[in-house]
Structure 1
Amino acid sequence: MTTPAIDRPSPSHRSPRQDAPRRRRRTGRWVLLSLAVLVVAAAGTGYWLYNDLDGNIEGVDIDKAIGGDRPEKLPTSGQNVLVLGSDSRAGDNAELNTGRVAGARSDTALVMHIPEGRTKAVAVSIPRDTLVTRPECAKADGSQVAPAERVMFNSIYSQVGPACVVKTVEKMSGVRMDHYVEIDFAGFKDLVDAIGGVTVTVDQDIHDPSSGLDLTAGTHRLNGTESLQFVRTRHGVGDGSDLGRIGLQQQFMVALLSEIKKQDLLGSPTKTYKIADTLTSALTTDSELASLTALTDFGRSLNGVDPAGMETIMLPVAYDKTDPNRVVAAEPQASTLWEAIRNDQDIPESAKKSPAGGGTS
């Protein structure tokens, strides 16, 4: 198997990230609203439809893959969920790949912490180009991958698999992940076409030969294929780093949800089923959540969480002294942040400051 090429951010990755807090807030809101859509869909379908949706969800047995080498689950630690946004270029999506990169990548990673009582939430964003220590991991075929230092966080998913991403996050944070949720951006193509497209507005021309996207500044109605190009675009936005691509992905998700709300699609059982069918087809979760019943119960447990009030924090990072295009966890801020999450405590302001930019919202 050929290892997918990994995009390297340009040195201008150092530029200020004025829009980062808003983008991370949108990501958290998208995750919670997606779960809410699943809850509504489950309540409005018959048994056979429910069973069909249930079969869409892929499950990963994280506990079996990681084994007992995990942080202790503390009685007051709330719920912790690792959310990955992946962009698969394999299978049915291969024909839509206008670029040169194959395989699947995960460019968006959030640790969502939901404290006891579940009335608020905190989302910690882990930059894709953070250098981390990858522990020894087992691949899906059972083969072992040796530990390695100074590994780019984004590479773990494509090279070893989702269970190793969970294990790496647990090792670097000391926080036990209760659940794992992966959402495939390409899974929304059919949904976009079904609702007649999604409207987005861009403030500058975008011409990216790698993704195939060619837009002039202004407002555009995108079909499913164009939407995929939109969320995959990197080179035609901003300084060409992955910050621009992540921003477009989050902008698209907000636009999609706005379109669903505007059309009142959830008021129609038939349209509700189409939405739920697409969403569940795009989901991979840990085995404990890999059923519509479990997702519905979990979604209902989040009813008290107000997405607008969710605090979003970027993992404090500093530019690597050897490679200025990479970042490393900044200390002592990162350790203080993870300790607060482990103990279900408010995160000190000092733990929200990142030398490399970004922070909290």
Structure 2
Amino acid sequence: MRQSSVQGPGAQRRASGAETTERGGGPRRDGAGPGDLPGQRQGGRHQGGGPPAPGGKHRVLRWVSTTLAVLILGTAGAGYLYYEHLNGNLDKDDLNLGDNKLDKSAPNAAGQTPLNILLLGSDSRKSKENVKLGGARADRDRPALADVQMLLHVSADRSNMSVISVPRDTRVTIPRCTDKKDSDKVYPETSDTINSSLAHGGPGCTVATWEELTGIPIDHFMMIDFSGVVDMADAVGGVPVCVDNNVYDAKSGLRLKKGDSTIKGVQALQWLRTRHGFEDGSDIGRAKAQHLYMNSMVRQLKAGTKLTDPDKLTDLAEAATKALTVDDGLGTVKKLYDLGNDLKRVPTKRITMATMPWVPDAQNPAHVIPKPGDADKTFSLMRNDVGLDGKDKKKHGPKKKPVPSDPAAPKGEIPVAVQNGTGTAAQIAVRGRAATIAGQLTRLGFSQAATDATPKSRADTTVSYPKADQRGDAQAVAKALGLPDSAVRPAAEVSQVTLVIGADWRTGTEYPKSAGSEKHGDEKAPDSADALKGDDKSACMKVNPANVW
């Protein structure tokens, strides 16, 4: 980790004692082992570090207060030097190493844009501190694995936040990645567990993998390391958690009595890494424990708990910035502060944390794959900026008997721009697709339909309109092509009714009914996503009967 010549006020704590691991080199699914949380960063080029599934997220919100302290200190000359010191603590890396990148999310009619942040935790042990906390000295030189992965989605209007965890042993396609910081080293496309994507050039390849898996454009990433988890848990004074029985997990070292406890330091790391102590002893139970931890942390931070003391705030600032690796777009404390302010606006009751619906992998029972239907529905809600809690007002109009806000103009008087967005991180574009659909619209009477060659990359087909009195026109286009009304939405970025043909419609001239099915029914996460609400203070982890003491 880099050191600045300016000494910050916050003293860094490092707790000792951590689990040892039976694990060797590659991805595994059996032991809590190393990899269950973040790893570490080394020098300039990040080799591992990332926030434990849960820790990462808190960090995001912790920065609200963290960076607030920084800005307060920045009012004086010495404060400015300390601000620069904190900037120097941050490690930065490329956002996306893939060949194909999704378009950024489009702004809504009010010009507001949703935000997608990938939170990562690796099992790197490239420092003495992380070897001490993570054990497994034999793993010190192997490539790091991203064993904690969560995608945080903040709605465009900042009314809600949704988080999806993906089990580390989910088999996915890891796309071809090029590491520009390592002499343009190329990692070929492969099929492997998602946690191994970090070893294909760094976090930018994990971002590329997520875009291919979900069709969700990712704006930023953040990673934290083992020692960072310890420091940050200490800096906020600990996090309240609950277990329904006495629990002891010999692999992670976690030992708690039944009921409520406040955990910090190494104990917080043990909680986030424990897999055998909870429920069925799997990654799935551990993800739920991480969600509980994160929700509890968020409630603390939003209530200002432990953050009224300037010394604690500077401790938090030091811990957060030294623990984090971020993309260049989040490379300063000021940017993190602005992000924190955005996140702070989300009501706790509208925060939902879920796990990607999954089924066992037929190729390897120790791995999982996305559950057909349910997984894509969950991803589709995020892509379409719909809260996983099901409490959003219908953003794209009613589902039955839609009534246009303004009557549609005659078909021949509606200008329609048709764009080809079929090329995504997962597949190449279908050549001539825009011309095919523009021709179909012309045959249907929309004589002003024309292709627009603006490069696009989108998972879902959409019909956008710039002004409220053009909604009827957009609905007429959607109806003519068989698109559901939920595909119609306002967008500040377009100047006329604009049809973007997504990866869900690669053939034919009528929108496939199966593709639109995900946009119908209840607009909330399926039960298989095991969602946890941010204001659920009664949540308590079920202990694995085999680990009760």
TM-score (norm 1): 0.78
More deviation in 239-248 or 252-261? 252-261
Distance in 1 (alpha carbons) for counterparts of 2:100 and 2:272: 36
Aligned residue in 2 for 1:60 = 93
1:152 aligns with 2:193: yes
CA contact (8 A) 1:188 1:224 kept: yes
CA contact (8 A) 2:162 2:353 kept: yes
CA contact (8 A) 1:99 1:210 kept: no
More deviation in 35-44 or 250-259? 250-259
CA contact (8 A) 1:28 1:307 kept: no
Aligned residue in 1 for 2:168 = 128
Aligned residue in 2 for 1:208 = 249
Aligned residue in 1 for 2:370 = 329
**Offset of residue 159 of structure 1:** 5.3
Distance 1:122 1:198, change over 3 A: closer
Distance 1:201 1:51, change over 3 A: same
What secondary structure, in the 3-state scheme, does the structure 1 residue paired with 2:164 have?
strand
Aligned residue in 2 for 1:21 = none
Distance in 1 (alpha carbons) for counterparts of 2:530 and 2:264: 34
Distance 1:236 1:291, change over 3 A: same
More deviation in 162-171 or 110-119? 110-119
Aligned residue in 1 for 2:106 = 75
Distance in 1 (alpha carbons) for counterparts of 2:177 and 2:323: 25
Aligned residue in 2 for 1:6 = 27
Distance in 1 (alpha carbons) for counterparts of 2:299 and 2:166: 26
Overall identity of the aligned pairs, in %? 31
Aligned residue in 1 for 2:157 = 117
Distance in 1 (alpha carbons) for counterparts of 2:186 and 2:57: 36
**Offset of residue 216 of structure 1:** 5.3
**Offset of residue 340 of structure 1:** 4.3
Distance 1:207 1:262, change over 3 A: same
1:93 aligns with 2:130: yes
Aligned residue in 2 for 1:102 = 139
What secondary structure, in the 3-state scheme, does the structure 1 residue paired with 2:222 have?
strand
CA contact (8 A) 2:28 2:169 kept: no
Q: Deviations over 1:233-261 (max 9, x none)?
A: 33344332123433444555566677778
List alignment gaps of at least 5 residues for structure 2.
1-22, 32-52, 74-78, 108-112, 387-394, 396-518, 533-549
Larger relative contact order (Cα-Cα within 8 Å, sequence gap ≥ 6):
1
Distance 1:216 1:339, change over 3 A: closer
Residue identity opposite 1:4 in structure 2: G
More deviation in 95-104 or 326-335? 95-104
What secondary structure, in the 3-state scheme, does the structure 2 residue paired with 1:44 have?
helix
CA contact (8 A) 2:254 2:274 kept: yes
CA contact (8 A) 2:102 2:211 kept: yes
Residue identity opposite 2:151 in structure 1: V
Aligned residue in 2 for 1:18 = none
**Residue pairs, 1:117-266, within 5 angstroms:** 117-139=157-179, 140-141=181-182, 142-149=184-191, 151-158=192-199, 160-192=201-233, 201-215=242-256, 217=258, 224-252=265-293, 264-266=305-307
Distance in 2 (alpha carbons) for counterparts of 1:344 and 1:194: 33
